[in-house]
Chains A and B, each alone.
Chain A
Amino acid sequence: METFAQSLVSGVLTGALYAMIGIGLTVVFGVMRIINLAHGEMVMLGMFGAFWSQKLWKLDPFVSILVWAPLMFVAGMLLYRLLLRKIIPGGELNTLLYTAGLSLLIANLALFAWTGDYRTISLSYGITPFRPLGIAIAVPLAVAFVLAILITVTLWLFLSRTDLGRAIRATSQNPEASVLMGIDVERVAMVTFGLGTALAGAAGVLLAPSLYLYPTVGELLIVKCFVIVVLGGLGSVPGAIAGGILLGVVESLGAVYVSGTYKDGIGFVLFLAVLLYRPSGLFGAGR
């Protein structure tokens, strides 16, 4: 029972971070109908951002989010403006291949610059876990969880309460009608892409103390990310949250009760099953 509670808790904690990565991808998909294959590399950049700001500037990784999230936001907007905007009219598959190329480029530039070594971030407060009700929780993971929830709630408020947020949701529901309502869809797309990139980068910063860092980690993350958004329905933010937590829990329980080696496989089988039988997601929210 204790093992169950333990793996459930750590699954939920990791799942919240997965969810954040998923939200970034799903928001971009909702507005632009792009599946950004380079999304995992954005997370990787966030992770390395946290690593280097600790290494070089002695900055706490969780504080460095204040630097990296805005930076990634701007980078994402520029990326959309300068590169992606010209590709999107060429169709979904062109964009898919283009972002695949981008992902190769970023991952291997990082590999070239930082080598393939596995790195870790060690935190002074990360050594002893705290134990509420006898369940051990790693402090960095708990901090990341709280911050992830904070960011997600802020995002939710932004999307539901502000004009720009409403414009994003409107474009995601019906681009043609949004144009007719006087929404600058170009600008919405640019901001959305920046937002998606910033979320990925922020999630990377938060994940960095809990995972191994290496330049091709994006490969692993992007596949998880697809599982999440497909579980929740592509384009749906609540779906991505549920999908992320579900995947975190399934992986964590699977590792304990099924087998460590096939742990990642469970996610993929789940993914294929959902893709085939409920392509709009478990909750029917996506498109």
Chain B
Amino acid sequence: MTRRLLPALLGVAVLVAIPLSIRNSFFLHVCILILMWTVLGAAWNVLGGFAGQVSFGHAALFAVGAYTTIILYLKGGLAPWWGIPLGGLAAALVSVPIGLLCFRLRGPYFALATLAVAEIVKLVALNWESVTAGSVGYLITTLPPVRLFGLEVNWEGKPPFFAAAAVLAVVALLTTGWLRNSRLGAYLVAIRENEDAAEAVGIDTVRAKVVTLALSAFLAGMGGGFYAFYFRYVDPDAVAGIGLSMEMVFIAVVGGLGTVGGPLIGAVFLTAVAELVRDRFQMGHLIFYGLFMMLVIRFMPEGIWGRVRRLTPGARTGG
């Protein structure tokens, strides 16, 4: 127990220490991005890593979360801390019919179907102008005044967003950790390894997969909601593009499929590559994403975290 508690406490301590000790807003921005990507990578990993269901359409769920949150705020005045979980909930609701349809397909066919679903969602976001404002998108100009512990929250600064992202990342990692040790997690691994055998021993595979997709969608949707508030701008290209889906895949694959800590490592890696390259040329980071994804699959399909765990003896249960 202490073995698991120690890294968790250490992680929380680091998360608390960062905004208190660091005033450099660019560094905080990078940390916020890392935490946001961790949430998204973990969301994809729940489905792709544990259940082995590769989705190329997770941007659709992210988009549902982002739109729900921003529309509730702009039209209903709902504060972020309600809007973000509701965005997650909306994504989870949308994911259920998607899952019921697409999980009738297996392996690569499922992946292709998710790609089509994501394209349909993007088209809807582009053309359903009365709700989504079409290609113009939504812009948040001001955030609500809030007092916390007697202090005015400064929305122009980074610390409040850091706190929100940290909470989401902790929720995502705890969910993954819980899933790994749960009965559902065991079902998923069985499905990943051999779906027919899983069915033969009595697992309701469709139900297990649909529940997992909903869970994954909830996390992805909350990530989308957070994105909407942090970047204050939502349009179909930004939140529903195939590039975003690929970034989620990248984080989970590079970090380590089916591991708890993998998405965090993947997110650090992804953000580092993006920020290092962005100075030199725009969009150049995608070249490296592609390259690293190929290298990882070729030389360490278990991902960075998976490899580290394998190299440290006795650490297999450490997560």
Residues of A within 8 A of B (CB): 35, 83, 86-87, 90, 92-94, 96-98, 100-109, 111-112, 116, 219, 223, 226-227, 230, 261-262, 264-265, 268-269, 271-272, 275-276, 279
Contact = CB atoms under 8 A, between A and B. Distances in A.
A98 B101 contact: no
B109 A279 contact: yes
A104 B117 contact: no
Contacts of A90: 297, 301
Contacts, number: 114
Interface in B32-79: 52, 54, 56
B120 A108 contact: no
A227 B52 CA distance: 23
A98 B298 contact: yes
Interface residues of B, number: 40
Interface in B79-123: 101, 104-105, 107-109, 111-113, 115-117, 119-120, 123
Secondary structure dominating the interface of A: helix
A226 B105 contact: no
Nearest to A101: B293
30 contacts: A35-B108, A87-B298, A93-B107, A93-B108, A97-B54, A98-B293, A98-B297, A98-B298, A101-B290, A101-B291, A101-B292, A101-B293, A101-B294, A104-B289, A105-B291, A106-B290, A107-B290, A108-B284, A108-B287, A111-B283, A112-B284, A223-B115, A226-B112, A261-B127, A265-B123, A265-B124, A271-B116, A272-B101, A275-B105, A275-B113
Contacts of A261: 123, 126-127
Nearest to B123: A265
Nearest to B110: A275
A240 B168 CA distance: 45
Interface of B: 52, 54, 56, 101, 104-105, 107-109, 111-113, 115-117, 119-120, 123-124, 126-127, 242, 246, 249-250, 253, 281, 283-284, 286-287, 289-294, 297-298, 301
B294 A105 contact: yes
Nearest to B254: A101
Contact of A275 (B112, B126, B127, B301): B112
Contacts of B113: 272, 275-276
A47 B231 CA distance: 36
A109 B301 CA distance: 24
Given A223-B119, A275-B109, A275-B112, A104 B293 contact: yes
Contact of A100 (B109, B119, B246): B246
B297 A97 contact: yes
Nearest to A86: B298
Contacts of B293: 97-98, 100-101, 104
